[in-house]
Structure 1
Amino acid sequence: MDDTKLQEVDALKQRLDALRPLPPAAVRNLREELVLNWTYHSNAIEGNTLTLLETKVVLEGITVGGKLMREHFEAINHRDAIHYVEDVVHEAEPLSEWQIRNLHRLVLKQIDDANAGVYRKTNVAIVGARHVPPDMLLVPERMAALIRWYDAESARMHPILRAARLHLDFVGIHPFIDGNGRTARLLLNLELIKAGYPAIVLPVQRRLAYYKALDAAQMDGDTAPFVDLVIDCMREAFARYWFVLAI
């Protein structure tokens, strides 16, 4: 991994930190935009057909004609999951399996309550990917190992690398029957926000690059494409701050 890219992002973070505390109006604007865009793009990556404007309307409590109720719940649930991420950061709660299950429970609420927050009881294949997730019987062990790694080693890593590794390892385990992608991206941003970085939005327009980067990490051990994608999205996140702050 080229440390230069990480250093560039850290310089952007230092620039933003020097401006804190930010004007309350700017913070509200940035947060509202983030919640909408993060929800829209994360759901769109998984096939949700709500447009950005329709997602905004749904989050305001209005039903969109011609759209599945599942798609409405996906938008509402994702917003609620973001609120949970914010609460976790505010309370400085350590990462745990319980926390991950809670996130997933929110993602699948009223969509598949029987499997919400429950590790899968069947083996799965990821359509179009070379990687085959571990046998269902190994999921609890792999998730416990993920938390052990996080507790023992992750603090020594650069926050962006730690967030990327958590996302990649979680996706590799694919611990739930559904909702793994959304949960993984929530965990990615949870780690970034904890470390004082802006949350990123992985745009649906880069879905193919995202999937290719995941496959390269799982099958070839090459995490660079995914880290590069995260850093690119991080630059875009900082750019939103400069725009809103008019600097």
Structure 2
Amino acid sequence: MFETIDVLKAQLDALRPLPTNSVRSLHEATVLEWTYHSNAIEGNTLTLKETKVVLEGITVGGKSIREHFEAINHREAIEWLESVVARHEPFNERLIKSIHQLVLKNIDDTNAGRYRQENVITAGAEHRPPDHLHLQPLMVELVDRYQNQKYHPVERAARLHVDFVGIHPFVDGNGRTARLLMNFDLMSSGYLPVIIKVEDRLAYYEALDKAHTSQCYQDYLTMVVEAEEEALKRCLSIVD
């Protein structure tokens, strides 16, 4: 299942160091599209072009302050994660809370970076997140399980996303945080960040719910592998 993406990754690695201008333009496009799609999945109504101008510092009329902050915060979270990857920092609870704090900054500062103190239901999903009283041991277990996994890096990143969302440790912002965590893991392993597109939202939610209710990760893993393959091919088409 991973043969194609591993071959593509090897081709990309063989071309390093990559052309500076190509890398810069690809990075800008990735940050924009990742931000747009991740927020759109959660209901943000900014279009791709509107997201671009918001990230350039321009206010879009008719859009809420929250939607503006969601775009700005998400870019800041990506940039912070990239610095974390560059410093080779480990995956732990502090990292998780720091990402979430950036996601909800100026939106819900009370709950930003803080595990939920109440129970929640995920609308439209069969899976029900665990009681808030069990969150701390579950998050400790999540980190421990991640650190001791022997899966292929792409499968490990996909499973991290699934398991994190299943716990649903925060009141809000779990989806964005999960996708940032997944890409943190991919980038830490030398792979490219993947973008789950808003057009695939239904399949994405169904794949997650299937993993949570039946422990079958295959549908979501396939989605991530295909997204990684798309990202690698796109990068190769620009730098090769």
Q: What TM-score, normalized by structure 2, do the two folds share? A: 0.99
Question: Superposed, which structure 2 residues align to 1:66-145 within 5 Å?
Answer: 66-145=62-141
Instruction: Tell me by how many angstroms 1:243 deviates.
Output: 2.7
Deviations 1:99-131 (A, max 9, x none): 100000000000000000000011000000000
Question: Is 2:171 aligned against 1:161?
Answer: no
In structure 2, the residue matched to 1:210 is: 204
Instruction: Tell me by how many angstroms 1:239 deviates.
Output: 2.2
C-alpha contact 2:8 2:233 (8 A) present in aligned 1: no
Q: Distance in 2 between matches of 1:56 and 1:86?
A: 20
**What amino acid sits opposite 1:33 in the alignment?**
A
- Percent of residue pairs bearing the same amino acid type: 56
Q: Distance in 1 between matches of 2:30 and 2:85?
A: 16
Question: Superposed, which structure 2 residues align to 1:185-196 within 5 Å?
Answer: 185-196=179-190
Instruction: Tell me by how many angstroms 1:222 deviates.
Output: 0.8
Q: Distance in 1 between matches of 2:46 and 2:223?
A: 24
In structure 1, the residue matched to 2:171 is: 177
Deviations 1:159-210 (A, max 9, x none): 0111011111100000000000000000000000011111111110000110
Q: The residue matched to 2:2 in structure 1 has which SS?
A: helix
Q: Distance in 2 between matches of 1:168 and 1:228?
A: 13
Compute the RMSD of aligned alpha carbons: 0.7
Question: Is 2:50 aligned against 1:44?
Answer: no
**What amino acid sits opposite 1:50 in the alignment?**
L
Question: Is 2:238 aligned against 1:244?
Answer: yes
Deviations 1:11-66 (A, max 9, x none): 11011111111000011011100100000000000000000000000000000000
Question: Is 2:53 aligned against 1:57?
Answer: yes
Q: Distance in 2 between matches of 1:75 and 1:103?
A: 14
**What amino acid sits opposite 2:23 in the alignment?**
V
Q: Distance in 1 between matches of 2:81 and 2:194?
A: 13
Q: The residue matched to 1:175 in structure 2 has which SS?
A: coil
Q: Distance in 1 between matches of 2:192 and 2:26?
A: 10
Question: Is 2:194 aligned against 1:197?
Answer: no
**What amino acid sits opposite 2:80 in the alignment?**
Y
Where in structure 1 do 4 or more consecutive aligned residues deviate above 3 Å? none
**What amino acid sits opposite 1:29 in the alignment?**
S
Question: Is 2:15 aligned against 1:19?
Answer: yes
Q: Which structure 1 residue ranges, 5 or more long, are not aligned?
A: none
**What amino acid sits opposite 2:81 in the alignment?**
V
Q: Which structure 2 residue ranges, 5 or more long, are not aligned?
A: none
C-alpha contact 2:120 2:129 (8 A) present in aligned 1: yes
Q: Distance in 1 between matches of 2:193 and 2:143?
A: 22
Q: Distance in 2 between matches of 1:174 and 1:181?
A: 9
Q: Distance in 1 between matches of 2:83 and 2:97?
A: 15
